[in-house]
Structure 1
């Protein structure tokens, strides 16, 4: 191994004593490849197994916690005990290759296609209308909000029973938890909406419920993480400053890690902070202040990209998403001193070799700009 990349493959120990064999994690990515009942398919198992040998931890694609939370076609479910065998197959496929398996849990909210949820009853923090003024989603009642909080806890219990090493609460990318935090989609007047502090109530209540379930059903080695978006582009959305307030509150919850959702690791804030030339990662790490580890992510393709991310920040862990689809042997090549052989653009002729299921491959090759080389 080239000495300058040694840190990337050094071990890392969480506060609960769980050790990762290196600093590279597979980021959660939707793959659209489960069956119509929400069961994990053989194609998905092969896809994950192909990428789980050398990374230290795999965070799965998101799984829905209630039937009305399904955000994508071909998404696997965690909304009932009937799904435990399916979840167990995926956990085993990942762990058999030597990586920790973390189940990402979520509710899609207004992002859910009506044809994927019971009776087309799409829900969100508040009523949401489309550009024509037609209703896209209705506001959840306070009772329903509490039921969804409980559902996050129940899916966590299922993850424990299915053999996962942890769960990641998906509070990013415009899904339901994000919708409660955003002033654009949360105009509630009860305890779950209004001020910034009240808009944090739902995300923090889910954290508390998940941790309560873990304390009851798992041992101290079970990990709990939380993923968040840094800010919204719209003027009436939440700012980087709002997110720093949430991150500060999350850092006091004794989570095992936080995970920012970024398209570009080195990106800078739009607004809500004094210096918009200072990278988002610096603001986040300063706010966390060492209370919990932060996973960085965003357009890291080459070994040099990863080295730069570690050298320019104090981020302890790095997640790779698209790059592990492009080159599943990324970690192995660095370990063997073959970082110059890392592939950084998708090869459209190598679907079979890369072990990518048809639905995901079709999405990649038909979405210009998503992956380098497309």
Structure 2
């Protein structure tokens, strides 16, 4: 029997039990139909990976039509999506694995082509600094903000109906919930902007509405998670102390907090004098109160153990589960020598990676995938942002 601590069961405060401490991190498949409905390719992709981790968090699903961030994106905007979402939850529920649906609105991180002619919306009419051709969004009205809060609740109800075990609010990677908290993208002067507490108002309102929906419709052990990015590099922008303050405000209102970063060994990008890992600094605020999911470049069992030792309660694995769908099973059976930490472009069909995702991995994402054909396949992101965190590939 393996002595790895991450293979032991984990119990949330609400009683939900995971068979191990491993989480499949949310990764977009770029493979849904034009209207956001699930495809068979996506179902097969999750089936190939779901049996090992204790919990699988899906790629993001938009909660309203103006929230779509990219083509091939999953949607949860209407009850028409329920049949596909039900199939997805069932596909993940292999060998007792729990299924969490990640939900979001992209805000200004989209464009009029993806929105079929509509202008993107955000907290304020401020274009993102990257990419360089980012479109200027329209500032949301108070009525639209109120509706957005309800849309997150409706998406949660659908997740419950479809059989998921939880929802995760995607407040990271510079998407809309983060845009409202950021002094870079939120320059409003009404109750939704201005001070840090005012900029926090929308995420809190979404959390509270989702809580009420869970209380009304969900079983007792349904999870509410929140994902956040530790820092922004823009000035002004979210700094580490802002994110730690954010965590302190929500840590007793959610069932877990999930960091978004490409290396679990990441230190501050803005304060080079701060040599502590971001993971350990967040853990100092969450330990004993709310589970913290650590993430980023976890490839070998030693990485997972190190993340737990540094303060994580759960470890999320993303890219490595693309390369090695049987990662957990191989570790548990003592077959670590066969774990692949590189991937050949020729093996992606065999690995049940949908064609849309294959194209994304070999273009925008190639620098972080460790392709066997890539001379720089060992690149890490300990001290920089990676493409999945909302940055251009060159960063």
Q: TM-score, normalised by structure 2?
A: 0.90
Asked if residue 256 in structure 1 is aligned to residue 273 in structure 2, the reply is no
Alpha-carbon spacing, 1:135–1:102, altered in 2? closer, same or farther (3 Å):
closer
Asked if residue 322 in structure 1 is aligned to residue 319 in structure 2, the reply is yes
Please say if residues 65 and 78 of structure 1, whose CA atoms lie closer than 8 Å, have aligned partners that are also in contact.
Answer: yes
Shift of 1:118: 5.0
Aligned-partner SS, 2:244: helix
After superposing the two structures, state which structure 1 stretch, 203-212 or 287-296, moved more.
Answer: 287-296
Aligned-partner SS, 1:167: strand
Please say if residues 55 and 99 of structure 2, whose CA atoms lie closer than 8 Å, have aligned partners that are also in contact.
Answer: yes
Post-superposition Cα deviations, 1:235-288, rounded to whole Å, max 9, x if no partner, equal: 3111000000000001131x1111000111011113479x61111111101112
Q: Distance in 1 between matches of 2:165 and 2:133?
A: 44
Q: Distance in 2 between matches of 1:268 and 1:248?
A: 20
Q: Which runs of 5+ in 1 are unaligned?
A: none
Partner of 1:270: 269
After superposing the two structures, state which structure 1 stretch, 129-138 or 205-214, moved more.
Answer: 129-138
Partner of 2:172: 172
Partner of 1:336: 333
After superposing the two structures, state which structure 1 stretch, 13-22 or 299-308, moved more.
Answer: 299-308
Please say if residues 150 and 209 of structure 1, whose CA atoms lie closer than 8 Å, have aligned partners that are also in contact.
Answer: yes
Q: Distance in 1 between matches of 2:235 and 2:36?
A: 37
Q: Distance in 2 between matches of 1:172 and 1:142?
A: 22
Partner of 2:278: 280
Please say if residues 239 and 272 of structure 1, whose CA atoms lie closer than 8 Å, have aligned partners that are also in contact.
Answer: no
Q: Distance in 1 between matches of 2:305 and 2:135?
A: 47
Aligned-partner SS, 2:113: helix
Please say if residues 68 and 118 of structure 1, whose CA atoms lie closer than 8 Å, have aligned partners that are also in contact.
Answer: no
Show structure 1 runs of 4+ deviating over 4 A. 130-135
Partner of 2:343: 346
Post-superposition Cα deviations, 1:101-140, rounded to whole Å, max 9, x if no partner, equal: 1000000000123122253221000002377899521100
Please say if residues 279 and 311 of structure 2, whose CA atoms lie closer than 8 Å, have aligned partners that are also in contact.
Answer: no
Alpha-carbon spacing, 1:259–1:129, altered in 2? closer, same or farther (3 Å):
closer
Q: How does 1:167-316 map to 2 (within 5 A)?
A: 167-253=167-253, 255-271=254-270, 276-311=274-309, 313-316=310-313
What is the Cα-based RMSD across aligned positions, in Å?
A: 1.7
Asked if residue 46 in structure 1 is aligned to residue 44 in structure 2, the reply is yes
Q: Distance in 2 between matches of 1:93 and 1:193?
A: 41
The aligned length equals 369
Alpha-carbon spacing, 1:26–1:198, altered in 2? closer, same or farther (3 Å):
same
Match of 1:80 among 60, 78, 81: 78
Q: How does 1:112-191 map to 2 (within 5 A)?
A: 112-129=110-127, 136-191=136-191
